[in-house]
Structure 1
Amino acid sequence: MRWTPVLLTALVVCALLGGAAGCGADDAHERGTAISASPVGTLLDETDEEGRLYREVDGKGAPEVAIEIQPDPAGGWDVRLTVRAFRFSPAGTPTVPVAGRGIAHLYVDGRTVARLRTAEHHLAGHLVPRGTHHVTARLYADDGTVWAVHGKPVESTADITASESAPAPAAPRAAPAEARRAVTARGRPPEMSGHGTETRTDGGGSPDPGGKAS
């Protein structure tokens, strides 16, 4: 074999790029390792109220959430989520869907009021005016898609009722407005009864001792 200047130059370039891999034989494979992660679940045509697509995953080992709400004596409501097969992503997490990870969106009567990266949240009283309201916690992947099972979003809903009583006319000094605020939460304590099912809270109950965010 005659070693020409052109051939020698080509061999030097291949060596600098990492041998045969740099000459194209395995170049595609090398580039592919950075994006070889398989997609998580299947994107559906269904969307939430803000147009975010549902990401369907198998029911076995899928995320679950339950919600419990208690009136705060100081005003507002204390919200607590119990999750399974799910962990909250800290701020700054890449916007890439990872199985069993993400954030929760909190809704009052279908309106987004908070995006949660922890299992506990204080819901301000002005967000829940007098009357009965539906408070929903729904789980989302880090890319903003909705975790879903059997075409239904992974979520849980509690019904709460807020009312204000008038001050006693004979009282020598008017009580603070928050002290006169009577609230009730009706329903039953949260249970992990499946995906997309409604879960309610009992205003006189106590938190589930075994429910902790995972």
Structure 2
Amino acid sequence: MKQKLVLLSASLIGLTLFGTVATAQLQRNVELKDGEGHEHKMMEIPDGQPIPTVDLIVHRDALKGWNLELKVTNFAFAPEKVNQSSNFKEGHAHLYVNGKKITRLYGNWYYLDRLEPGRNEIKVSLNANGHETFIHRGKAIEDVAIVEVR
């Protein structure tokens, strides 16, 4: 999982991003709660198949809030197939802020109107049509950005 830091202040229009790499160990087919009490299973991407990736970029909106950009590879958003049978090439993303699931994402952009003052963790995970979180070799396919609101 990549992690980015974004520092913001009332007078700061631009933002500063830098990345580090961290990993989280996850077991295949374990159930996870998404902060709303809803549980999701994992879906392992088979060896030899293209591995989906997601890169979360946070852009400060010129007027208010933040524009979240998801750059994905080896993955297609398929909102018309949500809640249908899963495969490892398509689906949607889940958006979490400070550990709480906010919404599903069906495309590459999302407008987030507000964040609490202080440190905020924004996470997106790639999920199959049946909501399973994609993993490869025990690692969730997700990205995290830290936004500091001053």
Counterpart in 1 of 2:32?
48
Counterpart in 2 of 1:69?
58
Superposed structure 1 runs of 4+ greater than 4 Å apart: none
Counterpart in 1 of 2:9?
none
| 1:65 Cα offset (Å) | 0.4
- For structure 2, list consecutive stretches of 5 or more residues without a partner in the other structure: 1-26
How far, CA to CA, are the matches of 2:101 and 2:123 in structure 1? Answer: 9
1:155-206 per-position Cα deviation (integer Å, ceiling 9, x unaligned): 000111112xxxxxxxxxxxxxxxxxxxxxxxxxxxxxxxxxxxxxxxxxxx
Match of 2:132 among 107, 123, 145: 145
| 1:60 Cα offset (Å) | 4.4
Question: How many pairs are equivalent?
Answer: 119
Counterpart in 2 of 1:132?
119
Counterpart in 2 of 1:86?
75
1:114 counterpart = 2:98 = no
Quick check: 2:43–2:88 contact (8 Å CA) kept in 1? Answer: no
1:47-69 per-position Cα deviation (integer Å, ceiling 9, x unaligned): 33232111111374111101000
Quick check: 2:57–2:68 contact (8 Å CA) kept in 1? Answer: yes
Q: Which has the larger share of strand? A: 2
Quick check: 2:82–2:130 contact (8 Å CA) kept in 1? Answer: no
1:131-154 per-position Cα deviation (integer Å, ceiling 9, x unaligned): 011101100000111110111210
CA change 1:46–1:65 in 2 (3 A) is same
How far, CA to CA, are the matches of 1:74 and 1:92 in structure 2? Answer: 34
TM-score w.r.t. the length of structure 2 is 0.73
The letter of the residue matching 1:61 is P
Q: What does 1:192-211 align with in structure 2 at a 5 Å threshold?
A: none
- For structure 1, list consecutive stretches of 5 or more residues without a partner in the other structure: 1-42, 164-214
SS in 2 for 1:156: strand
> Greater RCO between the two (CA within 8 Å, min separation 6)?
2
Quick check: 1:59–1:149 contact (8 Å CA) kept in 2? Answer: no
Structure with larger Rg: 1
Quick check: 1:59–1:150 contact (8 Å CA) kept in 2? Answer: no
CA change 1:132–1:93 in 2 (3 A) is closer
| 1:104 Cα offset (Å) | 0.3
Match of 2:88 among 93, 99, 105: 99
1:155 counterpart = 2:139 = no
CA change 1:86–1:92 in 2 (3 A) is closer
Q: Which has the larger share of helix? A: 1
TM-score w.r.t. the length of structure 1 is 0.52
